[in-house]
Structure 1
Amino acid sequence: MEKIFLGKQPILDRNKNLVAFELLFRTNETAETADFDDDLSATANVIVNAYGNLGIQNVLGQQRGFINVNKEFIMSDVIGLLPNKHVVLEIDSSKQLDNELIAQCAELKKAGHQFALDGVVSLNEDLQRILPVINIIKIDVSNLAEKELVNLVNHFKRWPVLLLAEKVETHELANQCMELGFEMFQGYFYAKPEKISGKRADPAKLSLLKLLTLVMSDSDIEEIDKEFKRQPGLSYNLMRMVNSVACGLPQKVNSIKQSIMLLGRKQLQRWIQLLLYTTESSSNSDSMANALLKTAAARGKLMELIATVERPHDKNHQERAFMVGILSLLDTVLGIDMQQIINKLGIPEDMSQALLSREGRLGQELKLIEANETGEVTIIRSLLKELGFLDLGELTNLELEALGWVNRIGEATN
């Protein structure tokens, strides 16, 4: 079977909730560079194969997917295979936008398809003509002077379009785009969530960290039970989660001790690690829509899967890899220095090296996952070569498995 390769980058709303991914499909021939959309026929073939072979629900979960398309793809029958509610078709604003393309987009829009105009940096006649069929304008904010950006935003605000700021790479630029009224955001500032700042450690998070320490140090169940009882909300969440995954039991689980016994220490540890990433928002929004949680959970599972390929019979190594992935964003969430977290949890040396400086085997694998999150193909290939037991196609398959696991967890915890 032909190999399919996948890259993805998160798209967030004004509250930093994950609302979509830009999907970067690529083949062996195009995977050496970050621009995966030059080979026109390959783009169409890969998208079709991706939907057929990868299972788009594994990739996207409940989120929408932005997919780069070219004129050849838009004019072909293949476009009918894409579910219009799940996918936004991205058109490159730097390419020629002729009458034939615009007419076809207008027909597709009537059929329910949505279009985004990608890489917008200025206004020209072509852009003006295609605007009536566009739903989302993606403005490349990386190299625009403040006045140019303000003028562009003011122009597009006269149209019924959503504005998405792409290539947002600094805190200052993110704040500027928020002030200008952008509705969606994409870029390394968000795709590398460790750069998201301004979080403070709250008592509930610190209690979770204490619980995690107790579980990891093999403390008595009575001691863990006592700590849970200090946090009624956590106790309720634990029992709800255990009851939802243990539906074959003859009766409902109604005590903390019973929940811990049924879940087991390893699963309890994982659940607490994931809970550390959930938001305190009082809204009923799906906690798995939180970008940090989704990224951390996917990192943990992908680290575990990579470790399983490397050492299939070493369960301890696989568990440590999972923990490195999950914990790698915890300093951001808690507003605590990573060294303090490592000291508090008593983390072993090889895991500490990975978390603090991306050194050692686990550090290399974490670095690989971070490069994969941002589509840095040259770094990905270099790290895969250094590791020596994985190729790009295998990494993609493992990533899809990890994403499927994260989405299933999201469904179970609703």
Structure 2
Amino acid sequence: MEGFFLGRQPILDRNQNLVAFELLFRQEEADEEININNDLSASANVIINAYCQLGIQNVLGKQRGFINADPGLVMSDIISLLPSKHVVLEIKETTTLTADFMQRCSELKQKGYQFALDNVVAMNEKVEQLLPLVSVVKVNVLEVEKNELSKLVAELNRWPVLLLALKVETREQESNCMKLGFQMFQGFYFAKPEVLSVKRADPGKLSLLKLLTLVMGDNDIEEIEKEFKHQPGLSYNLMRMVNSVASGLPQKINSIKHAIMIMGRKQLQRWVQLLLYTADQSNENMSNALMQTAAARGKLMELIATAERPHDKNHQERAFMVGILSLLNVLLSIEMQKIVDKLEIPDDMSQALLNREGRLGQELKLIEANEKGDVAVIQLILAELGFLSLSDLADIEIQAIGWANRISEVAN
């Protein structure tokens, strides 16, 4: 398989339910002339390889996937391999519209494929030509002035399309787009919301953080059990989960202490880390989207560490923790320094989380660049690391995403 990577950006509805992912496929730089002369775009080959090799359910879980559908992909027979129920084909506003291309899109629409018009910043003749074909219009709100945005929305509302606010990066932008009636939202704000220092951390989360501190330290099981007893709901979930995964045992687990012993500290630690992302009842869906991102980060960090040091379980575990903890400051609205201090974590993990320094910090930077689709940074870091190719990264990312999807389903 040619070198490529896969990134996912969450797409949420007005209630912040996770409804889809944009799948960002890129490949290693190839000869420019080959790309120009090749009818099938490189992205088409990459997409099909990923889908055939790795399975769409691993990539998307239960969500739809928005994918870039340039003319090379749309005009090819290869598109029939993409299931119409699972994908939304994105046409860029800059696409050259030929009669054959428009006819092909109409045929695909009749076969049940949905189209989205990507990166719209103003009405023009090309946009009006494409609007009858598409069911979603993605408006780049970062590139449109506030007063112009309301005019653009009014014009688009004349058509039976859903409006998706693209590149939402701040709370103010999200609030304005909500008022204008956008139905869907995508942007770095939702994958990694801004930290509001004035917000008081949720007491339930602080209690979970205390529990995580006990589990990570050398505290006795009795101390951990005592903290569980202060949280009846958490104790119930622990017992239910351990009983469900330990069905082969001769007897049911009927005490918190027994459940902790059966689960083991490492698994208990992972469970508490993930629970932190689902503890916010006031904004549950945002937390679920964050949990998916954090879980995928943790697993991907672990798999990268495994590729680097296959026999160093301690290194792999620390890498997993860095990935999971890297979004806790956002979720808890607490500075990362305070979280690091409270958990008393090792120096290499602290430097990774606070400054993106050291080996773990470099690998975390790689994952963050991957989430943003920043090809240049990804390739630079991979070259510096020296043990991972772009296609290796894509392979293990699919594993991480599949794992995060399964975790999310269990949590819900």
Task: Specify if TM > 0.5.
Answer: yes
2:162 corresponds to 1:158: no
2:249 is matched with which residue? 249
1:348 is matched with which residue? 346
**How do residues 16-165 of structure 1 correspond to structure 2 at under 5 angstroms?**
16-29=16-29, 40-165=40-165
Contact 2:39 2:72 in 1 (8 A): no
For residue 163 of structure 1, give the secondary structure of its aligned residue in structure 2: strand
Measure the CA separation in 1 of the matches of 2:337 and 2:241. Answer: 31
State the Cα RMSD in Å: 2.4
2:385 is matched with which residue? 387
Q: What are the superposed Cα offsets for residues 352-382 of structure 1, whole Å, 9 maximum, x if unpaired?
A: 1111111111111111111111111111111
Q: What are the superposed Cα offsets for residues 103-126 of structure 1, whole Å, 9 maximum, x if unpaired?
A: 332332232211100111111223
1:195 is matched with which residue? 194
Q: For 1:85, give the aligned amino acid.
A: K
For residue 22 of structure 1, give the secondary structure of its aligned residue in structure 2: strand
Measure the CA separation in 2 of the matches of 1:343 and 1:31. Answer: 49
For residue 25 of structure 1, give the secondary structure of its aligned residue in structure 2: strand
Give the direction of change, closer, same or farther, for the CA distance of 1:57–1:70 in structure 2 (3 Å limit).
Answer: same
Q: For 1:69, give the aligned amino acid.
A: A
Q: For 2:401, give the aligned amino acid.
A: L
Give the direction of change, closer, same or farther, for the CA distance of 1:251–1:413 in structure 2 (3 Å limit).
Answer: farther
1:206 is matched with which residue? 206
For residue 319 of structure 1, give the secondary structure of its aligned residue in structure 2: helix
Q: What are the superposed Cα offsets for residues 82-113 of structure 1, whole Å, 9 maximum, x if unpaired?
A: 11111101011121234433333233223221
What is the count of residue pairs matched by the alignment? 407
1:186 is matched with which residue? 186
Structure 1 window deviating more from structure 2 (364-373 vs 11-20): it is 11-20
Contact 1:279 1:290 in 2 (8 A): no
Q: What are the superposed Cα offsets for residues 183-229 of structure 1, whole Å, 9 maximum, x if unpaired?
A: 222223334x1526486412211111111111111212122111111
Give the direction of change, closer, same or farther, for the CA distance of 1:175–1:128 in structure 2 (3 Å limit).
Answer: same
Give the direction of change, closer, same or farther, for the CA distance of 1:174–1:31 in structure 2 (3 Å limit).
Answer: farther
Contact 1:58 1:407 in 2 (8 A): yes
**How do residues 311-390 of structure 1 correspond to structure 2 at under 5 angstroms?**
311-390=309-388
Measure the CA separation in 1 of the matches of 2:364 and 2:218. Answer: 26
Give the direction of change, closer, same or farther, for the CA distance of 1:260–1:23 in structure 2 (3 Å limit).
Answer: same
Measure the CA separation in 2 of the matches of 1:30 and 1:396. Answer: 17
For residue 107 of structure 1, give the secondary structure of its aligned residue in structure 2: helix
2:238 is matched with which residue? 238
**Percent pairwise identity:** 66
Contact 1:205 1:334 in 2 (8 A): yes
Give the direction of change, closer, same or farther, for the CA distance of 1:76–1:392 in structure 2 (3 Å limit).
Answer: closer
Measure the CA separation in 2 of the matches of 1:31 and 1:340. Answer: 48
Measure the CA separation in 1 of the matches of 2:359 and 2:100. Answer: 53
Deviation at 1:31, TM superposition (A): 11
For residue 354 of structure 1, give the secondary structure of its aligned residue in structure 2: helix
Measure the CA separation in 2 of the matches of 1:80 and 1:262. Answer: 48
Q: For 2:77, give the aligned amino acid.
A: D
Structure 1 window deviating more from structure 2 (287-296 vs 208-217): it is 287-296
Q: Which runs of 5+ in 2 are unaligned?
A: none
Structure 1 window deviating more from structure 2 (398-407 vs 239-248): it is 239-248
Q: For 2:350, give the aligned amino acid.
A: S
Give the direction of change, closer, same or farther, for the CA distance of 1:289–1:62 in structure 2 (3 Å limit).
Answer: farther
For residue 348 of structure 2, give the secondary structure of its aligned residue in structure 1: helix
Contact 2:287 2:331 in 1 (8 A): no
Measure the CA separation in 1 of the matches of 2:237 and 2:404. Answer: 18
Measure the CA separation in 2 of the matches of 1:83 and 1:288. Answer: 28
Q: What are the superposed Cα offsets for residues 18-55 of structure 1, whole Å, 9 maximum, x if unpaired?
A: 322211223323599xx9xx984323222222211122
For residue 160 of structure 1, give the secondary structure of its aligned residue in structure 2: coil
Contact 1:214 1:224 in 2 (8 A): yes
Structure 1 window deviating more from structure 2 (125-134 vs 39-48): it is 39-48
For residue 272 of structure 1, give the secondary structure of its aligned residue in structure 2: helix
Give the direction of change, closer, same or farther, for the CA distance of 1:175–1:302 in structure 2 (3 Å limit).
Answer: same
**How do residues 207-222 of structure 1 correspond to structure 2 at under 5 angstroms?**
207-222=207-222
For residue 249 of structure 1, give the secondary structure of its aligned residue in structure 2: coil
Normalising by structure 2, what TM-score?
Answer: 0.92
Give the direction of change, closer, same or farther, for the CA distance of 1:71–1:381 in structure 2 (3 Å limit).
Answer: closer
2:301 is matched with which residue? 303
Give the direction of change, closer, same or farther, for the CA distance of 1:282–1:5 in structure 2 (3 Å limit).
Answer: closer
Contact 1:58 1:404 in 2 (8 A): yes
Measure the CA separation in 1 of the matches of 2:392 and 2:207. Answer: 38
1:260 is matched with which residue? 260
Structure 1 window deviating more from structure 2 (94-103 vs 59-68): it is 94-103
For residue 142 of structure 2, give the secondary structure of its aligned residue in structure 1: coil
Measure the CA separation in 2 of the matches of 1:31 and 1:302. Answer: 30
Give the direction of change, closer, same or farther, for the CA distance of 1:16–1:334 in structure 2 (3 Å limit).
Answer: same
For residue 277 of structure 2, give the secondary structure of its aligned residue in structure 1: coil
Q: For 2:75, give the aligned amino acid.
A: M
Contact 1:241 1:412 in 2 (8 A): no
Give the direction of change, closer, same or farther, for the CA distance of 1:351–1:282 in structure 2 (3 Å limit).
Answer: closer
Measure the CA separation in 2 of the matches of 1:384 and 1:77. Answer: 34
Q: Which runs of 5+ in 1 are unaligned?
A: none
Measure the CA separation in 2 of the matches of 1:84 and 1:199. Answer: 43
Deviation at 1:391, TM superposition (A): 1.7
Give the direction of change, closer, same or farther, for the CA distance of 1:39–1:169 in structure 2 (3 Å limit).
Answer: farther
Normalising by structure 1, what TM-score?
Answer: 0.91
Runs ≥4 residues deviating over 4 A: 1-4, 196-199
Contact 1:5 1:25 in 2 (8 A): yes
